[in-house]
Structure 1
Amino acid sequence: MTDCGCSPPSLETDAQKRALWIALGVNAVMCFIETTTGVLFSSTGLIADGLDMLSDAAVYALALIAIGRSPRFKANAAMVSGVALLVLGFGLFVEVVRRSFDGGAPEGAGMIAVATVALIANIIVLRLLSRQRNDEVHLRAAWIFTRADVVANAAVILSGLAVLATGSRYFDLIVGAAIGLYVMREAFEIISNARRAQRAG
């Protein structure tokens, strides 16, 4: 027996893979929908949420690769996820600054409709991953990402309502910046968990 950290397939491993594959598929589809409609509706919030979905899809892919690997590999996978999320959060701030100088008011009704679909999808994924989140660091990272998505979706919906009520684009910009801040906070949590796992390993 080697120390690769490998183990025979189990029902638990199958459940992890099934949950992650579903999460990966949902996030890939919603990334395309949100970024596309975000551009069409001139919504920074939707674009930010769509890019967050892309980052999540990458995290789920890393978590799938990490299943059955050594604890060290899983900790490293979580670290990569956290760093990627941190870069994404910074990128969202850059986009908010750019749009604050160039752009009009977004389409509030469209924002609400798309964000509501995304919220429902992420709640489903969060429930699937909630059964796995305490297992290992790379799976907890995936759960944290999805939790951030649910918060971001709700924020975009509120932003859409504010835009409809006032016609101002600043609510959308504020939500985009807030999503960036929240994403970075989640990134630091993932990185902290990964560091503890690396030291333990």
Structure 2
Amino acid sequence: MSLCSGADPHGASESADPHSHDGHSHTISADADRRYLWIALGLLSAFMVGEVITAFISGSLALLSDAAHMLSDVAAIGAALWAMHLAAQPARGKWTFGWKRAEILSAAGNGITLLVLAVILGVEAIRRLFDPPQVTGGLVLVVALIGMVVNIAAAASMARANRSSLNVEGAYQHVLTDLYGFIGTAVAAVVILLTGWMRADAVASLVVVALMLRAGWSLTRDSGRVLMEAAPSEVDLLDVTDHLLEPEHVVSVHDLHVWTVTSSLPALSAHVVVEDECFTDGHSARLLDELQACIAGHFDVEHSTFQIEPVSHVDHESTAHAH
């Protein structure tokens, strides 16, 4: 259903009839996604406990960094599940969009967590490059191989969820970088067993750190764009304006705003100036339908609000809004 309304400055309000878009849904497929995330959460939680114990026994920073990252994975998935619960709550009272923005906050938290952990582990890895401790290569290799299997299973489960949701994608990136980390740890363990070069453990940790920084920055950037209400990266505002100017009788467009409420839920509002005659011959209502169909069809924005204004009203626009 789309929300589209046009305001008549003469006192008459025009609202387009609600249209149903059966093929497009902005709601999170909660039941399926939660099941996939719960499976991943169970696998990672069980393995994390064993990895922490093994990391202290073996003295491996790579394993300890993987365990720390896995702890953030567990927290990320837990936050994602809670955010999905909140996002499914209906809109009520002052919360006109419900709690849908909760998933963006969860994604931002996941991104920041990755960045903080990367800095902490990076500092320790650099220290160990200069003063490498003894690492039990065989034990590290066994745990790393098991960790790869566990993370592949968890990633495969989460990959089946709706990853167009920034919330789910954030948790998925946590698990995916952990998988890369275990691959690096396994390689480091083999190097230690074959050559005795203990610094391989620290090098593997730095590889994990680099992956965490990349994933963390991506999540923080994308969630930040949503929280700052920037236009979606795939939307060209000039292109939107051109499309809104195409219908006959449309003179100009101003106060155009496009933002994202949550993943896959863009919204748009604009003031559309039309010829004065549209308000006397009843054409403004048809224009409103045409504008709504244009935006929904070309830009997949179903939540749009248009204020239809006659040319004679432009001089009354506040200088703070007219542009």
Shorter-chain TM-score above 0.5: yes
Q: What is the TM-score normalised by the length of structure 1?
A: 0.89
| SS of residue paired to 1:71 | coil
Question: Letter of the aligned partner of 2:103 in structure 1?
Answer: K
Matching residue within 112, 115, 123 for 1:94:
123
CA deviation after TM superposition for structure 1 residue 85, in Å = 1.1
Instruction: Give the distance between the partners of 1:97 and 1:129, measured in 2 at CA.
Output: 33
Instruction: Give the distance between the partners of 2:126 and 2:57, measured in 1 at CA.
Output: 19
> Is 1:51 aligned to residue 68 of structure 2?
yes
Farther-moved stretch of structure 1 (98-107 vs 119-128): 98-107
> What is the identity percentage for the equivalent residue pairs of Structure 1 and Structure 2?
26
Question: Letter of the aligned partner of 1:26 in structure 2?
Answer: L
The verdict on how the C-alpha distance between 1:33 and 1:87 changes in structure 2, with shifts beyond 3 A counting, is same
Q: Which residue of 1 aligns with 2:54?
A: 37
**Contiguous gaps of at least 5 residues in structure 1:** 1-9
Instruction: Give the distance between the partners of 1:133 and 1:170, measured in 2 at CA.
Output: 40
CA deviation after TM superposition for structure 1 residue 11, in Å = 10
Where does 1:129-168 land on structure 2 (aligned, <5 Å)?
A: 129-168=158-197
> Is 1:60 aligned to residue 77 of structure 2?
yes
Q: Which residue of 2 aligns with 1:172?
A: 201
The verdict on how the C-alpha distance between 1:136 and 1:190 changes in structure 2, with shifts beyond 3 A counting, is same
Q: Which has the higher strand share?
A: 2
The verdict on how the C-alpha distance between 1:58 and 1:11 changes in structure 2, with shifts beyond 3 A counting, is closer
| SS of residue paired to 2:197 | coil
Counterpart contact for 1:63–1:77, Cα < 8 Å: yes
Instruction: Give the distance between the partners of 2:142 and 2:158, measured in 1 at CA.
Output: 25
Instruction: Give the distance between the partners of 2:223 and 2:138, measured in 1 at CA.
Output: 40
Instruction: Give the distance between the partners of 1:93 and 1:109, measured in 2 at CA.
Output: 24
Instruction: Give the distance between the partners of 1:155 and 1:56, measured in 2 at CA.
Output: 18
**Contiguous gaps of at least 5 residues in structure 2:** 1-26, 88-98, 230-259, 262-323
Counterpart contact for 1:105–1:167, Cα < 8 Å: no
Matching residue within 184, 188, 195 for 2:224:
195
Larger Cα-atom Rg: 2
Instruction: Give the distance between the partners of 1:110 and 1:30, measured in 2 at CA.
Output: 15
Highest RCO, 1 vs 2 (Cα 8 Å, sep ≥ 6): 1
Counterpart contact for 2:36–2:160, Cα < 8 Å: no
Count how many residue pairs are aligned between Structure 1 and Structure 2. 192
Q: Which residue of 1 aligns with 2:33?
A: 16
Instruction: Give the distance between the partners of 1:11 and 1:56, measured in 2 at CA.
Output: 21
> Is 1:128 aligned to residue 157 of structure 2?
yes
Counterpart contact for 2:44–2:154, Cα < 8 Å: no
Question: Letter of the aligned partner of 1:186 in structure 2?
Answer: A
The verdict on how the C-alpha distance between 1:45 and 1:151 changes in structure 2, with shifts beyond 3 A counting, is same
Instruction: Give the distance between the partners of 1:98 and 1:26, measured in 2 at CA.
Output: 32
> Is 1:109 aligned to residue 138 of structure 2?
yes
Instruction: Give the distance between the partners of 2:133 and 2:84, measured in 1 at CA.
Output: 45
Instruction: Give the distance between the partners of 1:92 and 1:34, measured in 2 at CA.
Output: 16
Question: Letter of the aligned partner of 2:83 in structure 1?
Answer: A
